[in-house]
């Protein structure tokens, strides 16, 4: 344990009202259990009961619940934020800056998946008032967050990134992608582009399972091929599709609203750089169909249902 941790307190702010909550809870749990914190983790959620429920899952004395954003931030030295979209993180930062609490020399670490322009604006805002900022979006499903197996992408001033690294690999994650001394937006640029790989994977699997069913190959036979050739995420998503998990879950693992937000950012980046992502355009059209069919409870894997409908099958398998 490096010496600077000895006098610090920490807060991880969880976004209210998003369907990414399980991953954030896993991140909190690993900070408490493996982060070697010298003070209780401070938790804030605008839905206080959610924060209290999370606190109840931890050993006594390992965490506290703050009643407001200023209260959470004022007692912390390192503040982790993880919100659902650009508007939410921007509003939260504005609330912090207008609260009148002293934030000079505090370190803010944002794990949200947002447009890189938003990330760079946050960095400029904090820098203008003497606070430090690191972007740290993460790759990985809720189960990976629970297991401390996320991939953390860090960007920002090297001396600030160094303070965050002890909470990433070996605590919240299995690996770091370190962009020290690169613009903070470089981390969310990778995150947005990286999420298109996931989106395209789901689209490919959805089309494959649909034609396997209609051509007579059969879903089990296709899944055997996927297990053999593409172990890992491909196999996991294939299994979810075959089990009907994409429409039977109470809460989505990767919500359709968040997936469409990420796709929108990717398409904006493509347009701005003079490129085109046709596969993402098609997948986003299918996500829109998922929204129509299931609303905000839809999951990215629901693309399978949308492709099925376009092929004359029922959305539900």
Largest CA distance in the chain: 66
Residue whose token pair is 């009643």: 67
CA 185 from centre of chain: 15
| Catalytic residue (choose from 191, 214, 264, 278) | 191
Burial 37-51 (b: 16+ CB within 10 A, else e): bebbbbbbbeeeebb
| 45 closest CA partner among 19, 17, 20 | 17
- Is the Cβ–Cβ distance between 11 and 42 less than 8 Å? yes
| 44 DSSP β-pair partners | 13
CB under 8 Å to 135, separation ≥6 — which residues?
109, 110, 119, 122, 123, 153, 154, 155, 156, 184, 185, 186, 187, 188
Let me know if 62 is a catalytic residue: no
- Lookup: tokens for 277: 């992502």
Rounded Cα distance between 146 and 25, Å, is 8
Residues assigned a catalytic role: 191
């Amino acid at each position: 344990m490096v010496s600077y941790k000895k006098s610090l307190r920490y807060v991880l702010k969880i976004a209210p009202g998003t369907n990414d909550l399980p991953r954030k809870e896993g991140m909190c749990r690993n900070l408490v259990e493996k982060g070697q914190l010298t003070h209780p983790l401070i938790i804030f959620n605008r839905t206080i009961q959610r924060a209290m429920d999370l606190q109840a899952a931890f050993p006594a004395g390992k965490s506290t619940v703050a009643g407001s954003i200023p209260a959470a931030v004022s007692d912390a030295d390192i503040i982790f934020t993880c919100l659902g979209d650009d508007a939410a993180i921007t509003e939260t930062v504005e609330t912090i800056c207008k609260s009148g609490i002293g934030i000079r020399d505090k370190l803010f670490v944002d794990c949200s998946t947002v447009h890189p322009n938003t990330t760079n604006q946050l960095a400029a805002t904090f820098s203008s008032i003497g606070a430090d900022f690191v972007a740290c979006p993460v790759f990985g499903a809720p189960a990976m967050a629970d297991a401390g197996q996320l991939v953390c992408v860090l960007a920002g001033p090297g001396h600030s990134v160094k303070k965050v690294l002890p909470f990433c690999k070996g605590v919240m994650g299995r690996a770091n992608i370190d962009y020290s001394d690169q613009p903070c937006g470089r981390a969310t640029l990778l995150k947005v582009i990286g999420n298109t790989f996931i989106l395209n994977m789901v689209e490919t699997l959805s089309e494959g399972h649909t034609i396997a069913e209609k051509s007579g190959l059969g879903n089990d036979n296709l899944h055997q091929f996927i297990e053999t050739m593409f172990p890992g995420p491909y196999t996991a998503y294939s299994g979810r599709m075959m089990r009907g998990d994409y429409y039977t879950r109470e809460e989505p693992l990767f919500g359709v609203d968040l997936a469409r937000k990420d796709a929108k950012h990717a398409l904006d980046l493509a347009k701005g750089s003079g490129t085109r992502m046709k596969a993402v355009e098609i997948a986003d059209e299918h996500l829109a169909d998922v929204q129509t069919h299931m609303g905000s409870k839809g999951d990215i894997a629901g693309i399978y249902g949308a492709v099925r409908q376009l092929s004359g099958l029922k959305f539900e398998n």
